[in-house]
Chain A
């Protein structure tokens, strides 16, 4: 029984990958097609997490792609399309959610860490250079360099 359950879980996941995600829509011109292509990579498929609706074969991804195309035909701007999906599926569909409290950490932590990193490099580098080499040391160093 356990085994049967396990396999069924696998099959569910597999429904996402490797399935077809191409609708063959016609677009009036190459720019519109490119815009569509770009837009559909911006949204996460709510069923197959970690796949964009561009690559997901899940039925819901098909619906969402169709929705994006419909909104484009209705003349919606990119921002309006993002809003449309976000109000329905939440932030979860956005691959690039806006700067706001729940994403603050993601913006600040790397910057903070980078500052620490710079501090470490500078401190270690300076600690090593405080004592200037003696003349004997310099002479020795020069010989070493020439020898190498």
Chain B
């Protein structure tokens, strides 16, 4: 009995080592889960980028499945993912809405002219208030919003072909109101 007790430390350490190993190999400590999956997209009322006087709100998102992308010209990763957004917009016909986050609108317009514009429209979130409502903590972040305006998926960091294939396209496939699923998945397969 007493002898067995001496094995306790090495046993505890074994458990600890497994936890450390799993934690170390499996996770990205900087990634936060979104608290908003399954919740309605927050209401907003913001100017539309490049269209003086025009404003857009949550109603503007309803009726169709949308990919909502938070981006800025000061964010290098946004440029890195831009090509993939262009491809998604062109090949799948998925509606993409941009939130130009804490940015200079003039630079943003120029940036879109230079790198191409996959967005149906952009809203200008200068102060970052919509960002706070969306739980954004850095750019880029991307949300998949269903036709009823409910957030179904969130990606922190760049959207790339792997993320599209493994995460966005399958989520999309489960959404009512998205007609081109088969075509999309067929492409990817």
Q: Which chain A residues border B35 with CB–CB below 8 Å?
A: 86-91
A63 touches B33 (CB 8 A): no
* Contact stretch, chosen from B48-56, B80-88, B123-131: B123-131
A90 touches B33 (CB 8 A): yes
Q: Is A92 an interface residue (CB 8 A)?
A: yes
In whole angstroms, how far apart are the Cα atoms of A89 and B39 in the complex?
12
Q: Mark A1-29, 1 if CB is under 8 A from B, else 0.
A: 00000000000000000000000000000
B134 touches A47 (CB 8 A): no
In whole angstroms, how far apart are the Cα atoms of A63 and B34 in the complex?
18
Q: Which chain B residues border A86 with CB–CB below 8 Å?
A: 35
In whole angstroms, how far apart are the Cα atoms of A92 and B35 in the complex?
9
Q: Is B173 an interface residue (CB 8 A)?
A: no
A92 touches B33 (CB 8 A): yes
Known contacts A60-B128, A63-B127: A47-B34 contact under CB 8 Å: no
Q: In the complex, what's the smallest C-beta–C-beta distance from B42 to chain A, in angstroms?
A: 8
A90 touches B32 (CB 8 A): yes
In whole angstroms, how far apart are the Cα atoms of A67 and B135 in the complex?
12
Known contacts A59-B102, A89-B137: A64-B32 contact under CB 8 Å: no
Considering only CB atoms, which chain A residue lies closest to B35 in the complex? A90
Known contacts A59-B102, A63-B128: A90-B138 contact under CB 8 Å: no
Residue in contact with B134 in the complex, picked from A66, A67, A88, CB distance below 8 Å: A88
Q: Which chain A residues border B134 with CB–CB below 8 Å?
A: 88
Interface set, chain B 25-79, CB cutoff 8 A to A: 29-30, 32-36, 39
Q: Mark B84-119, 1 if CB is under 8 A from A, else 0.
A: 000000000000000000100000000000000000
A46 touches B132 (CB 8 A): no
Q: Is A76 an interface residue (CB 8 A)?
A: no
Q: Is B136 an interface residue (CB 8 A)?
A: yes
Interface set, chain A 35-71, CB cutoff 8 A to B: 46-47, 49, 59-60, 63-64, 66-67
The winner among A59, A86, A89 for most chain B CB atoms within 10 A is A89
Q: In the complex, what's the smallest C-beta–C-beta distance from B154 to chain A, in angstroms?
A: 11
In whole angstroms, how far apart are the Cα atoms of A49 and B137 in the complex?
11
In whole angstroms, how far apart are the Cα atoms of A24 and B4 in the complex?
62
A→B interface (CB under 8 Å)? 46-47, 49, 59-60, 63-64, 66-67, 86-92
**9 closest pairs, A vs B, by CB?**
A90-B35, A46-B137, A88-B135, A63-B128, A89-B135, A60-B137, A47-B137, A92-B32, A63-B132
B→A interface (CB under 8 Å)? 29-30, 32-36, 39, 102, 127-129, 131-138
Q: List 25 A-B contacts (CB under 8 A).
A: A46-B32, A47-B137, A47-B138, A49-B30, A59-B102, A59-B128, A60-B132, A60-B136, A60-B137, A60-B138, A63-B131, A63-B132, A64-B132, A67-B129, A87-B35, A87-B36, A88-B35, A88-B36, A88-B133, A88-B135, A89-B135, A90-B32, A90-B34, A90-B135, A92-B33
Given contacts A66-B127, A89-B35, 12 further A-B contacts (CB under 8 A): A47-B138, A60-B131, A63-B129, A64-B132, A67-B132, A88-B35, A90-B32, A90-B33, A90-B34, A90-B135, A91-B35, A92-B33
